[in-house]
Every structure is written in C-alpha cells, then in structure tokens.
Chain A
Amino acid sequence: MVLREDQIERYSRQIILPGMGGKGQEKLLDAKVLIIGAGGLGSPAGLYLASAGIGTIGIVDSDKVELNNLQRQILHSSSNVGMYKVESAKEKMTGINPDVKVINHNLRVDSKNISDIIRDYDIVIDGSDNFPTRYLVNDACVLNGKPLSHGGIFRFDGQVITILPHESACYRCLFPEPPPPGLAPSCQEAGILGAVAGVIGTIQANEVLKYILGIGDLLAGKLLVFSALDSSFRQVKVPRDAKCPICGENPTVTELIDYERFCSLRKNPFGRS
C-alpha cells in the first residue's frame, strides 16, 4: 500500500513515532475493529480510532441519541437527538477521517448473531452498558478466539482489561458471576462523571492501537482501575483461572447463551460447578 500525500500529511504526527513509520500506518489502515456500544466508552474509542486511521470500524448499537446522552457520549451532538446512534457515529467518524470505512450494525447483539458479527474483525471493544451483554461478548470472543478490550465505568470509577483468549485471563476468570440485577445499577440510576468515560474509552482505543501495531505491553492479565476523585491509577494482577467455566481446563460453557434469561435463574446460572 502506498500512502497518498494527504495521508502522509494527515498521519504525520504518528508516522514519525519510533517503531511506527509508513508500515505501522499501513497496519492501522488494514485493520478492522468492532466497537460494541456507541455510548460513553464507544464514543472516545471511535473518535480516536477514526483519527488514527483504522481502516474499518464496525459499530453496534440499536439505540437512538437522547438528550441525556450528550453529557458524555461525545460522538453525538445536539442536532443528532432522535437519530440512530450508529448513523450519528458514522457521520462524526467519517467527518473526521474519510479514509475510514464505518460499518453500521443497527442491532443488539445476542447469542444468535454475535459470532457472525465479530467474525470479520481483528479485535473487539466492549463499550456496552449491562452485565448480560458483557458476559455474552466475553464468551463469544473466547469461543471465537477474538481479542477483546473490556472497559467498565460507574460513578467516578473505571476499569479496563485486555483479553487475549486462551493466552490471558478472560472476563469470567476475573469475575465469575455478575451481581444480581438489583445490585447492578446503570449509569441512569447511579450516575457517571462524563470524563471518566472518556478516560476509560480512550485507554481502550490505546490498547487496540498497541495490539494492531504490536508495540508496548497490553493490559493482558492485568486490570487497570481508575478512581477519578483522587486521580489514581492502579493495576492488579488477573491470572487465568484453571476453573474458569469458559476458558479453564474443563469448560462447562461451550456455547453462547442469552444471559438475560439466566439472570433470573437461582441455581448455577453460569455453568460453574
């Protein structure tokens, strides 16, 4: 691939980075990244990946832009209220960078469609906003061998981990089960400081860029924990769990299920013995 003059100009500030060069830029332009959720995390991730020149970016979201999103979902503007988020996202991302092909997946992922959706991408960013989806995305990525950047936010706190299936810990190695529905308030119920979403989503974009370029150390086997109130960043170790029901020695989860159904089951909903 020969970079055009305008591309050399556009990407000049990263092309000159040590270890990057034209070859690194080509890797980004050839890459395909899927972002699940065009909300608080998906917004900064999408903006930075489009700016960096990721060649193909898929966005999954079935919602429309609402006024209360605009406090933190920086992919969307006041004039987009009422529009489908994937359309608003595509408009913004291609507006920043016409090099980027944005593929809209205007739907919710479920056990039936997710494997087909993630198949063509190199890496997935989880920017969803509920536990059932997070476990589904983790399971789909592990079963399909797809690297995953997981990020989560709540009030003033955020967490990020990079999951390399069968190499590093998956989300279920970290948290085997989600809280029961009553103990898992959404951003709507609990609140979120907008810039916290920015910090975590941007770190996720950073992880994806490092993965594609093959540089630096990923947050694989590590959970980065951010607390906005004292601006602290900590990392804790996340080992692979030999008893993990999906990536452990004796997996009991071998196919995808829609966890929404299982959240109401009392006994052993996650296949763990």
Chain B
Amino acid sequence: MDILLEIQQAVAAGKRVEVKRLLEAGLQAGMGARALLEEGLIIGMDIVGSRFKRNEVFVPEMLIAARAMKEALALLEPHLIEAGIKPKFTAVLGTVQGDLHDIGKNLVGMMWKGANFDVIDLGVNVPPEKFSATVEERKPHVVGLSALLTTTMPAMKESVAKIRSGAFGASVKIVVGGAPVTREYADEIGADGYSPDAASAVDLARELLNA
C-alpha cells in the first residue's frame, strides 16, 4: 500500500506508534516532509473530521487521532524546519470576556491544529482589547471567537468591533461560534463566518482563506 495512504489511515485510527513508524519509513525512503505532512498526516485528520461530521465517531476517538498527529508532527518538525516549511495559516482563538466556557473553543483549536494551523489560544474571559492587540501583533489569517452565554454575546460584538478598529484587524477573517450564536448574529456583528460545531470550523476557515 502507498505509504501516504497508510499514514492517512493510521492517523485516522489514532495509531500513534504506527504513524511514527510509517513516517520514519517515509523519510528513509527519501520522501519529502511536505508530502508526509500535507498528503499524509493532514489528510488523515481530515478523514477523522469527516467521520465525526457523519456521526461515525465521537470526540474521544477524534482526540486519539489528534494525539497521534501531534506526536507525528514532533517527529517531523526538524525536517519541516530544515525544508523551511511552516504552517500555512495562523489562527487566534479565545472565549469572549465574561465567559468561562471553553470546551467548544478547545475543540476548534484541536481541529485547526490538526489542519496544520498555528493556533494562538488566548484562553477564556478574553477582553476585546487583548483580541485586538494580539491580532495586530501576530497578524493571523483567522480569528475564532466563542461564547456560550446569551449575556456574553454583547462581548462578542464588542470584540469584533475592537478587532475591526485595528489596521490589520480591519480585514482579518473572523469566525464565531457557541450555543446562542447564529449565522444571522455573525452577520449582524460583522464576523465573516459562523461555525455550528468544531469539525465545521476547519472547512469554514479553509473556505474563507481559499485554502
């Protein structure tokens, strides 16, 4: 079987030891780090993401795959650095001010990392000023805002406005999510996209970034 195909399947099944063995075999066979990453590991995570969206697996199974991906990336990292390969996209992520809920946000972060985004996670209860300052400093491709409470939705609106007031933030792609959030609300507050769940957040970010 094609080694890249084997890597995809091993990642999707969360077989950590197998993934590392296959990566080493690929490297020894002279395969490039980019191909192993983009045509092996990332596609493996896409497979498990698709299974999740089709209700075939649960998050714990997806996390096992993510851990296999993480360990594989650590193994591959020196080769990626040597080849000058960096994550294509940077994302800033956080739960808005006044809100401590972070399960959804963490899952989005995990899915974005699985898609090889460099994720800057600001945590929970993040003030609008911190979102804006981070966006101006780190110049991400996409920003993800999460809120679970109806009473913290105004903080989401305020965060979007604050980000938009910055020179870089004016045009950065912003996606929002959380139980009370809707596509209409995303439009109303000036976000670029709304994701109903963590798995869809990868597709949404890729769509917005034409990736």
- Whether chains A and B associate is no
Task: Spell out B's residues near A (CB within 8 Å).
Answer: none
